Amino acid sequence: MRNPLHAVWAALATLLLATQAQAAQPVDWQIGFQPAVTDIMREINWFNNYTLWFIGPITLLVLVLLIIVILRFRARTNPDPSKTSHNTAIEVIWTLGPVIVLLCLAIPSFQLLNAQYTPPEEPQFTIKATGYQWYWGYEYQVEQEVSFDSILLSDDDRAEYGKEDRAEYPRLLAVDNEMVVPVGTTVRLLVTAADVIHSFAMPSFGVKMDGVPGRLNETWFKADREGLYYGQCSELCGKDHAYMPIGIRVVSVEQYGTWLAAAADDVEAANAQLMASIQEAEKSVELAANEAQKIKE
């Protein structure tokens, strides 16, 4: 009986972790990237770690060479400097070495760059993000078009929007209306600006695209985990550049369909309904997990 109970508990715990709201955001003393929720971001993480295997040894080699030069060829220990004008072996090494290193870096970087602009499948729908001084406007280019603005959430408005939990809705990152997308769906993102150059950056998605007035730049993403993710404008765009966050809420396909239908009439009401649905689902899974824990005990 013990093994089946463990299996039930493990399954429910996994479901709880997968269902409960996760918020990817900067944390104190963070030195790495935010958790990746797209394949592109995982490739970026891999390439970052891959380059360190080159950067580390090269840095140590240069350090060692500098120390040798400083100690061995200083005036006190080497009063009669060499008159050597060239050395064929050294010149071949310092020419071929960097070429090989650059090739090892260039090939995977070009492959990653190509993947960032080549979605694996035809995007299911398109969202246009327009940068303004200093907020974002979103247009869903679907059958029944949905459009709304996304503005930094002020402390005075937290209660009105039901976003008083600062762990999930942090100061200077939370917005009044998040972009809502379905999990496991390829989304085409068009980025532009209405006044000055902005930049749409979502670290967990591996997305960073400049918004240039009078121009449409295209990228894509496919989030594979539900949750709430934060980014910011990453192009200096004026005095309130630091107050131009980006919020994307990834939900199930069913929740997205319900939200989209309601958002065509009232975006804020649709968001409130979506948040209530998510909280209800979290409570149901938590109760199930508690019951499983009681059975286990």
Domains of the chain: 39-116 (1.10.287), 125-285 (2.60.40.420)
Rounded-to-integer distance, Cα 101 and Cα 54, Å: 8
Range with top average pLDDT, 26-35, 267-276, 278-287 = 267-276
Residues 160-182 have pLDDT tens digits of: 999 999 989 999 999 999 999 99
Rounded-to-integer distance, Cα 194 and Cα 214, Å: 8
Q: Give the residue from 97, 77, 94 showing the smallest Cα distance to 86.
A: 94
Mean pLDDT rounded to a whole number for the chain: 88
SS3 state at 213? strand
User: Do 132 and 193 meet the contact criterion of CB atoms below 8 Å apart?
Assistant: yes
Long-range contacts of 266-275 (CB under 8 A, 24+ apart): 267/146, 267/148, 267/177, 268/161, 268/176, 268/177, 271/161, 271/177, 271/178, 271/180, 272/161, 272/162, 274/180, 274/249, 275/162
Range scoring the smallest mean pLDDT among 95-104, 199-208, 239-248, 282-291 = 282-291
**Confidence (pTM):** 0.81
Rounded-to-integer distance, Cα 229 and Cα 243, Å: 16
Residues 115-174 have pLDDT tens digits of: 999 999 999 999 999 999 999 999 999 888 899 999 999 999 999 999 999 989 999 999
Residues 236-248 have pLDDT tens digits of: 999 999 999 999 9
Rounded-to-integer distance, Cα 69 and Cα 63, Å: 10
Residues 203-215 have pLDDT tens digits of: 999 999 999 999 9
